[in-house]
Amino acid sequence: MSENMYIARSSHKDALERGEYGGAVTSILQCALETGKIDGVVTVKAKNDNRYTGVPVLITTPEQLLETAGSLHCSTPNISRFVKEYLDGASTMKLAVVGKPCDIRAIIELQKRERIDVDNVILIGLNCTGTMSPTTAKRMFTEEFEVDPDSIVKEDIDEGMLTIVLKDGTKKSRDLTELEERGYGRRENCRRCDINIPRMADLACGKWGAEDEEKKSTFIEICSEKGKNLIDETIKKGFIEVKEPREESLQRRKKKDEAEVERAEKWKTRDFKIFQELNQSERLNYWISEFNKCIKCYGCRDACPICHCKECILEAKRGFVDKGEVPPDIMFPLTRLSHVADSCVNCGQCQDVCPMELPLSLLCSFLNRELTEIFQYTPGIDIEERPPLTTTTEGELQIQDTFLDISSLTEK
Amino acid sequence: MIEYEPTICPYCSCGCGMYLVIKDGEIIGQEPLKEHPVNEGGNCPKGKNAYQFLYAEDRLKTPLVRKNGSFKEATWEEALNLVAAKLKKAQPNEFGLLASGKNTNEGAYVLQKFARVVMGTNNVEYCGRLCHSPTAAGLGPTVGSGVMPISQLDIENADCIFLVGINCKETFPMITKRILRAKKKGAKVIVVDPRNTVTAKNVGDIHLQLQPGTDVAVLNSMMLIILEEGLEDDEFLQSRTTGIEELKNYLSSLDLKEMERICGVELEEIKKAAIMFAEAETGCTLFNQGLNQHSTGSDNVKALATLALLTGQYGRPGTGPSPTRGQINGEGTGDMGCLNVFYPGFKRVSEEVAKEFGGLWGVDNLPSEPGYPYTVMLQKAEYLYIVGTNPMMAAPDVNSVEKLLKDKELLVVQDIYPTEVANMADVVLPAATWVEREGTHTYVDRRVQKITKLVESPGKARPDWWIVNELAEKMGYKEYFGYTCAKDIFEEIRRCIPQYKGITYKRLEETVGGIQWPCPAENHPGTPTFFTEKFNTPDGLGHLQVVDYKPPAELPDEEYSYVLTTGRSIFHYHTGTMTRRTPKLNDEVSSGFCQMNPKDAAAEKIRNGNMIILKTRRGSIEAEARVTDEVPEGLVFVPFHFTESCANKLTNPVLDPACGMPEFKVCAVNVEVKK
């Protein structure tokens, strides 16, 4: 059953040393670069070795890859935007893109919209149980862990615990839910996220299922033909050593995933409750008061991987929404919402960058959950599956609106 | 190679971080910098369009010298030799230098040193005169320092926020974020503004919509009510202040009904606000031009600070009246001494201080008499050197300014674009700006942050410090200047300004969010909160001030029957030099306008969108009418960003005698439809 699953570790000394879990991902990418299978790797690097400022980078030599090994839980770079905006959507080069499940899903949505090339991109997904905003994380490390944030060399989120490792080797752990109850911990969208293993990528890599290995290793699940070719080639060229996972490893991986999904469900129930308790007009009022905070910076639009139009209808010069007004007309946020809600991948980038801290990710993921039920469509999973907005039937349009009283809006 | 490089926004003084995306030496985009403690990844509309202003076509790229009435391109050698030759003829008091809140600290420092060492005069000013001079004049005698006494990050912990003459949702969006956070935790917000601004509408819980220029009447009423209700902070008054008896005596002589009549705000509302503020655990006060830009600006500030002292809302995180600087280096250019009465570090001009700096700089006979304030300098200095500021848009009564500038012996303008004043100059010097040079700025809460040079400046444009350094050399003062890089200058700043002593380039490069001065040593973390133990006055006490209400200098009459007030829009920055060259911002608001109440518009037969003529005793302009209830009856509002509807052709140049602040916020105006 497990011919598409491996326990892997690098055969190269440097990658073994630098990688957190045996350096397998680094070596897979090094092999792809060295063999010319790809022209570059898009991944995240701690700028000036600062763990709180991970930025997307394009790596073109195997040596540089070592500098990007290890995960940064306190940086939330927008990887899909980097590929779309600054690498021409991979139209001119073959890329391997490394990302968390939401990054991978964002890229798949952009591929559906023809803003990122499909054939030129290999997606290397990394398991994820959540990330933290750098400023919240630093505050938490200072106030709750009572350590200098700059003394941390590693963070880990596992089985409901947040663990940090300091330069001197000291480890400190705290219960994540307790931290989150007090406003620390992971970003809100991450708390609600139930996609921990990025099976929509070509390869899904992580430590779950490899914890018990004698030597540090990575668990790799092959999720596509592209992924299989890449792994086969890497093994053949001797970049990694692999073995089959044991049954108990598979079980452990499955259990951990289920526990995280359960944790996410609890957060969803809790976060969405306030809307379910409000009636429709109360809900509308709530959102209008939130939208009134908007200062029309376009930050949410620019950060959103679903917003893909080259000429956005909301631009001032298009005249669709009255220009020069703050807060902008309600059609500004509503238009954005209607354009993206069906395809939201819950990456949280919109809420991260909102200067007025509107709960945009909450709104979008709430709506998306309702829509997912109706249309049986989960965004960012299958490139062949088209967004409901483009495939809605006449009949579906008659479904009672799940969020807004549309008639009251169209009257305006 | 594509690199994300961190920098700080070039606009207001919140000091927000961002990444610039650089490819082959050119900025191709910008991305959120989520680690920055001020903005945490968010930026306002201007901040989101931060770099486009660098690349407009008409950027100044070479020195220009006027010959036979028109500009000719020149080399630096030619242009600076010409300026030097002319300046050598100037007597100290004939020279004046206007610096900018957009200079770096290093640039500003060299500019004031040039005026003092080379030209021998304290005639050095900057646009801070036109925005926060009443702050210094009002807070000086009251608490001993005119800077923001808190960290902007602590505003979110206040439970009452008092916004006086500050439309912060448009002018300080990132401070507004803190206010919204406080509100989420239950804080109440009081807004004092004659206009029903977006801040009043979307952020305020109580709006005291006063008649323009009647702030003292409102503040005195609040203080009297607080005393009547017994809500003053006796312990604080006793241990930290002086003058309560005089204040009580004065206030008890006031008639609240009379005050209500003057300010036009119902007494009940004032009372609600007074009690709310006095009862707050942490009462935060923020103020800006609405309080300052009056002929009584310093009185207004004194009354506001006295209210905070009376209620003990001072000297703790999140309290204290905080002035809000409008420009990237609004604080720093003042810190560096670009003020007629201050040497660097706010050392007041005197024989003693002149000697002290003479010692530091190795020169004799530094000027020890105060120089001219901004607008007086425009009148009296025959040799004017203007750097990064634009009195043809920013000074009051622009028509008079134009006449004055036409007749100067020498007008040198150093800027990045051919501004209205640059077009009148004898010599134009092209400056490098923002990430085209290295340097530091000091943001609203004394937060010093460093900018790294990320791209080359266009053509021959050079950093301000370089230009002045060269000029000083040509004037024969090389030994006192001779800087080779911005860091040289910063090291001198550290030696001369004790508040900056512990701040180094290295520390700034390693500290996201910068360091707040005073920072006396290299191992000192900086100072978020001022006045925790004592005030900066000689006796360490807060001095309660008795302030009598005085009406604005020019009020409506039969001929000019409306009140004109001026201000800003979120999409534009001051005189428009940068934002009007930024396509997405200019698309939002692309021309000047005049807000008018629907009833007034009906009475004058003005419809929304009509071109109207606004006329005062000083001049007239045309602007598009915007009929809106954002302004009450009797008041019209014109933003000052637009050259074609230049608000300051209308404004009254009458000055606050205590600080030289013109009365931008109130004058009498006449309005009619353009036929």
Q: Any idea what the CATH number is for the domain that residue B200 is in? A: 3.40.228.10
User: Could you tell me if B155 and B83 lie in one domain?
Assistant: no
Distance from CA of A300 to the nearest CA of B (A): 9
Token pair 């020890």 is at which residue?
B368
pLDDT of residue A406: 46
Give the domain-ending residue among B468, B484, B500. Answer: B484
pLDDT tens digit sequence for A330-350: 999 999 998 999 999 999 999
User: Could you tell me if B315 and B333 lie in one domain?
Assistant: no
Name residue B40's amino acid: E
* Token pair for A83: 């590929």
Give the domain-ending residue among B433, B458, B484. Answer: B484
Which value does ipTM take for this structure? Answer: 0.95
* Token pair for B36: 């920055």
Of B29, B35, B169, the CB nearest to A135: B35
Give domain status of residue B491, yes or no.
no
Give domain status of residue B509, yes or no.
no
Q: Give the chain A residue whose CA is nearest to the CA of B41.
A: A353
The strand pair at B427-430 and B410-415 is best described as parallel
pLDDT of residue A1: 41
Residue A401's pLDDT band (boundaries 50, 70, 90)? low
Mean pLDDT, all residues of chain B: 97
pLDDT of residue B570: 96
Contact at CB, A78 and B35, closer than 8 angstroms: no
Residues of A in contact with B47 (CB under 8 A): 297, 355
Query: What is the per-residue DSSP string for B498-525?
Result: GGGTT--HHHHHH-TT-EESP--STT--
Distance from CA of A81 to the nearest CA of B (A): 10
Give domain status of residue B209, yes or no.
yes
Of A47, A317, A354, the CB nearest to B4: A47
Give the CA-trace dihedral at B333, B336, B337, B339, to 10 degrees.
0
DSSP 3-state of A111? helix
Contact at CB, B570 and A295, closer than 8 angstroms: yes
Q: How far is CA B435 from CA A320, B457, B492, B664, in A?
A: 35, 9, 22, 32
User: Could you tell me if B577 and B645 lie in one domain?
Assistant: yes
Q: How far is the C-alpha of B571 from the C-alpha of A388, rounded, in Å?
A: 36
Q: Give the chain B residue whose CA is nearest to the CA of A321.
A: B588
User: Could you tell me if B314 and B430 lie in one domain?
Assistant: no
Q: Any idea what the CATH number is for the domain that residue B23 is in? A: 2.20.25.90
Of A292, A315, A355, the CB nearest to B173: A355
Q: How far is CA B203 from CA B40, B160, B176, B180, B353, in A?
A: 21, 12, 8, 7, 45
Contact at CB, B35 and A353, closer than 8 angstroms: no
pLDDT of residue A18: 80
Tell me the mean pLDDT per 10 residues along chain B, length 675. 96 96 96 97 97 97 96 98 97 97 97 98 96 95 96 97 97 97 97 98 97 98 98 97 97 97 97 98 97 97 98 96 94 97 96 97 96 95 97 96 96 97 98 98 97 98 98 96 97 98 97 96 96 96 98 97 97 95 96 97 96 97 97 97 97 95 97 93
User: Could you tell me if B32 and B168 lie in one domain?
Assistant: no
Give the domain range for residue B270. Answer: 133-323
Contact at CB, B571 and A324, closer than 8 angstroms: yes
Contact at CB, A295 and B40, closer than 8 angstroms: no
A317 and B CB contact within 8 Å:
yes
Phi-psi region of A346 (alpha: psi -120 to 50; beta: other; left: phi over 0): left
E strands within B204-278? Answer: 206-208, 241-242
Per-residue burial over B355-369, b if 16 or more Cβ lie within 10 Å, else e, is eebbeebebeebbbe
pLDDT of residue A400: 59
Q: In total, how many domains does chain B have?
A: 4
Distance from CA of B190 to the nearest CA of A (A): 17
User: Could you tell me if B424 and B313 lie in one domain?
Assistant: no
Distance from CA of A157 to the nearest CA of B (A): 20
Q: How far is the C-alpha of A194 from the C-alpha of A192, rounded, in Å?
A: 6
Q: Any idea what the CATH number is for the domain that residue B95 is in? A: 3.40.50.740
User: Could you tell me if B294 and B421 lie in one domain?
Assistant: no
Of A134, A295, A303, the CB nearest to B169: A295
User: Could you tell me if B30 and B140 lie in one domain?
Assistant: no
* Domain positions in chain A: 5-131+192-257, 132-185, 278-411
pLDDT tens digit sequence for A168-192: 999 999 999 999 999 999 999 999 9
Query: CB of B438 within 8 A of CB of B485?
Result: yes
Contact at CB, A324 and B569, closer than 8 angstroms: yes
Distance from CA of B317 to the nearest CA of A (A): 17
pLDDT of residue A404: 47
Q: Give the chain B residue whose CA is nearest to the CA of A76.
A: B34
A345 contacts: CB under 8 Å, gap ≥ 6: A102, A105, A106, A109, A305, A306, A379, A380
pLDDT of residue A409: 44
Q: Which one-letter DSSP state was computed for residue B211?
A: P
* Token pair for A51: 């763990």
Distance from CA of A135 to the nearest CA of B (A): 6
Among A295, A317, A349, which would you mutate to test the B interface (most chain B Cβ atoms within 10 Å of its Cβ)? A295
Distance from CA of B31 to the nearest CA of A (A): 9
Contact at CB, A76 and B31, closer than 8 angstroms: no
pLDDT of residue B515: 98
Checking if the pLDDT of A3 tops 80, the result is no
* Token pair for B64: 């220009």
Residues of A in contact with B568 (CB under 8 A): none
Q: Give the chain B residue whose CA is nearest to the CA of A85.
A: B29
Contact at CB, A352 and B32, closer than 8 angstroms: yes
Give domain status of residue B149, yes or no.
yes
pLDDT tens digit sequence for B306-316: 999 999 999 99
Of A50, A133, A324, the CB nearest to B589: A324
pLDDT of residue A399: 61
Residue B74: CA count within 13 A, CB half-sphere: 21
Checking if the pLDDT of A405 tops 60, the result is no
pLDDT tens digit sequence for A214-246: 899 999 999 999 999 999 999 999 999 999 999
Q: Give the chain B residue whose CA is nearest to the CA of A322.
A: B588
Q: Give the chain B residue whose CA is nearest to the CA of A357.
A: B177
User: Could you tell me if B68 and B112 lie in one domain?
Assistant: yes
DSSP 3-state of B651? coil
- Record the pTM: 0.95
The strand pair at A161-166 and A152-158 is best described as antiparallel
* Token pair for B335: 């810190």
Question: Please, is B285 exposed, middle or buried when counting C-beta atoms within 10 Å of its C-beta (0-12, 13-18, 19+)?
Answer: buried
